[in-house]
Amino acid sequence: MTRGVAPGLGLTTEEGAALEAHLSSLAPLSSRTWKALLALGQRRRLAKGGCFTRPGAPASHFAVVLSGLLRHYYVDARGKESVKAFRGPLDVSAPYAELILRRPSRTYIEALTRTELLVFRFDDFEALARDSVELQRLARRFGEVHFVQKEQREYEFLMLSAEERYRQFCARMPELLQHIPQHQVASYIGITPVALSRIRARSRRP
């Protein structure tokens, strides 16, 4: 593989091109800005089960997933996990709310499989973006897209039954079903693994 985009990073041309295309779909970047941005990133590998972020740690970085799969989740006082999100290739992964609020993370971000990340210090991004319309627009777009996702989730919790939420999940993220243990899907839609198993049994053969 050639390494033409950003030699220092070891990003392949394919990776770089896909990433640029994906980010450009949010907001276009001049090639100058794009290069400056990319220069801020650092490649990092996460073993299965490894954590990008854990509660208590200061929220200071965000990352683009190059390959692999991450899950974002909370853990309550009794140890119950609640899955907030999954992130795959080209998705941005971060303790986003905590970065915005400049508070310590309260979420785990954990690799479900071996995962490769392109990691950025948030403050580096902020410094680069300070007077850049392009990057402010990108950051704006990014916030908006994530807002829309959370509002969709709010809609589902307010308006749909657990069974309907499960159907939506299957329809919306069919690829994930292959790679994610079922009890984490249950947690994502806000029910227990037992309840999800019943829902599936019900819809398999009545």
Which residues here bind its own copies, judged by CB under 8 A? 74, 76, 80, 82, 84, 96-97, 100-101, 131-133, 136-137, 139-140, 143-148, 150-155, 157-159, 190
Q: What span, in angstroms and rounded, lies between the C-alpha atoms of 105 and 40?
A: 22
User: Using CB under 7 A, which of the segments 22-30, 132-140, 144-152, 188-196 binds DNA?
Assistant: 188-196
Q: What span, in angstroms and rounded, lies between the C-alpha atoms of 140 and 165?
A: 29
Pick what 72 binds: DNA, its own copies, none; C-beta below 5 to 8 Å, kind-dependent.
Answer: none
CB-nearer residue toward DNA: 56 or 206: 206
CB-nearer residue toward DNA: 101 or 201: 201
The residue count of the chain comes to: 206
Residue type, 77: A
Minimum CB separation of residue 152 from DNA in Å reads 19
Q: For the window 146-165, what string marks contact with DNA as x by the rule CB under 7 A?
A: ---------------xxx--
Query: Is 176 an interacting residue with respect to DNA (CB under 7 A)?
Result: no
CA distances from 89 to 15, 22, 112 (A): 10, 10, 13
Query: Is 129 an interacting residue with respect to DNA (CB under 7 A)?
Result: no
Q: What is the DSSP letter of 161?
A: -
Using a 10 angstrom Cβ sphere, with 0-12 exposed, 13-18 middle and 19 or more buried, the burial of residue 177 is: exposed
Q: What span, in angstroms and rounded, lies between the C-alpha atoms of 165 and 42?
A: 37
Residues that bind DNA (CB under 7 A): 161-163, 181-183, 190-201
